Amino acid sequence: MTKFDEATQAIRVDETTYDVCLDPGYAIGGPLNGGYLMAVILRAAVDASPFEHPVSTTAQFLKSPVAGPARVKVEQLKSGRTAAFARATLIQDGVAQIESMITTATLNDVEPVYTDAAPALMPAPAECVKLPDPKPESGMTLNAQMDLLFDPPTIGWLKGEPTGRPESRAYFRMAEPQDPDPYVLALAVDALPPVVFSAGARGWAPTVDLTWHLRALPAPGWLTLVGDGRLISDGWFDERVEVWDSAGRLVAHSCQLARVGRG
C-alpha cells in the first residue's frame, strides 16, 4: 500500500458509515486539497457499490475540513445493471463538510468508438520546470506528494509575467512510485495551481463545486494535465481540466466553479 493509498483509505463501520483520517500531507496553505478529499470520499463510495469505478463525481465544498478523524456517510440511491448512484457526505465533528453525488460503473479497456480530441502539444518533460519548493511555514504540504513539471509560459505569474489567459499545463505523477488509478485521477483534476494565476490573480481560490468524469483507466506513466477557464467575473471563475495518460488517451476531465482569491 502506498502513502497515498493509506492517506485515502476508508474503513467500513457499517453499511452506510466509513471512518477516515484526513492526512495533513495534502494541505494547500492550511485547507486540504479538494481532489485529495474527493479521493477519500470515493474510496468509501466505491467500497459500498457493486461496481468498481467512480465514473462521475460532483462535489460541493460546504466547508474546509481539517486534518484528523472524519466520517463518510454513503446513501445508496439506485443500482442498475450497468451503474449505481449514491450520495456521499464527508462529516467532521458532526458537521457536513462536503456533499457529493457519485455514479459508479465498471469500465473496460476498449478502444474509443469516436473521439474529436487530441492531447495538447507539450514540451518534452526535460524542457518543463517545477515550481520552487514552498517555505516550511507556508503550510503547502501537497507539493511533496506529487511531481508536477510545468509548460514554462503557464507559470510566468511566478515572475510577475502572467500570460493574461486563465491556463495551466503540466506533467503529473505521484512522488512515490505508483501507477495512476481512479483515485489518483481525483487528485490530478485538482492538482494544478488555479488557472486564474495565469490571468493575473493571486491568493487561495476556494473551490465551491467540482464535477469530474472518469473516461478510461489510465496507462502507467506520466499524466498530462491541461487546464483553462472561460470566464472570470464578479469574483468567480471556472476551471476546466483534461487529463491525458501516457498512451495519449483522454482518461478524465473536470469543471469547477471557484472564487477568485485575494493575495
DSSP 8-state symbol, 197: G
Lowest-pLDDT range of 101-105, 131-135, 183-187, 245-249: 131-135
Is 43 a member of any domain?
A: yes
Helices (H), the chain: 3-8, 34-47, 182-188
Is 63 a member of any domain?
A: yes
Q: Residue 32 — pLDDT band, cuts 50, 70, 90? A: very high
Integer Cα distance of 224 and 154 in angstroms: 14
Is 114 a member of any domain?
A: no
- pLDDT tens across 227-237, in order? 999 999 999 99
Query: pLDDT value at position 4?
Result: 98
Query: pLDDT value at position 185?
Result: 98
* Residue 52: CA count within 13 A, CB half-sphere: 6
Is 227 a member of any domain?
A: yes
Query: pLDDT value at position 138?
Result: 81
Report the CATH number at residue 100. 2.40.160.210
The alpha carbon of 181 is separated from its chain's Cα centroid by a whole number of angstroms, namely 12
Mean pLDDT within 43-53 = 98
Is 75 a member of any domain?
A: yes
Q: Nearest Cα to 101, choosing from 80, 84, 87, 83?
A: 87
CB 255 within 8 A of CB 226: no
pTM assigned to the model: 0.96
The torsion angles phi and psi of 111, rounded to 5 degrees, stand at -80, 145
Higher-scoring residue by pLDDT: 1, 123: 123
Query: pLDDT value at position 263?
Result: 57
Q: Is the pLDDT of residue 143 over 70?
A: yes
Higher-scoring residue by pLDDT: 110, 165: 165
Q: Residue 136 — pLDDT band, cuts 50, 70, 90? A: confident
* Residue 13: CA count within 13 A, CB half-sphere: 10
Integer Cα distance of 174 and 251 in angstroms: 16
Nearest 5°: CA angle at 258, between 58 and 129? 100
C-alpha cell at 6: 493509506
Q: Nearest Cα to 74, choosing from 13, 11, 10, 16?
A: 16
Query: pLDDT value at position 111?
Result: 86
Q: Nearest Cα to 196, choosing from 152, 159, 225, 227?
A: 227
Q: How many CB atoms lie within 10 A of CB 250?
A: 19
Report the number of distinct structural domains present in the chain.
1
Percent pLDDT > 90 in the chain is 88
Query: pLDDT value at position 261?
Result: 77
Q: Residue 30 — pLDDT band, cuts 50, 70, 90? A: confident
Is 117 a member of any domain?
A: no
- pLDDT tens across 95-134, in order? 999 999 999 999 998 888 888 777 778 999 999 999 988 8
Mean pLDDT within 66-75 = 97
Residue numbers of the domain that contains 55? 3-108+122-259
Lowest-pLDDT range of 18-27, 147-156, 174-183, 253-262: 253-262
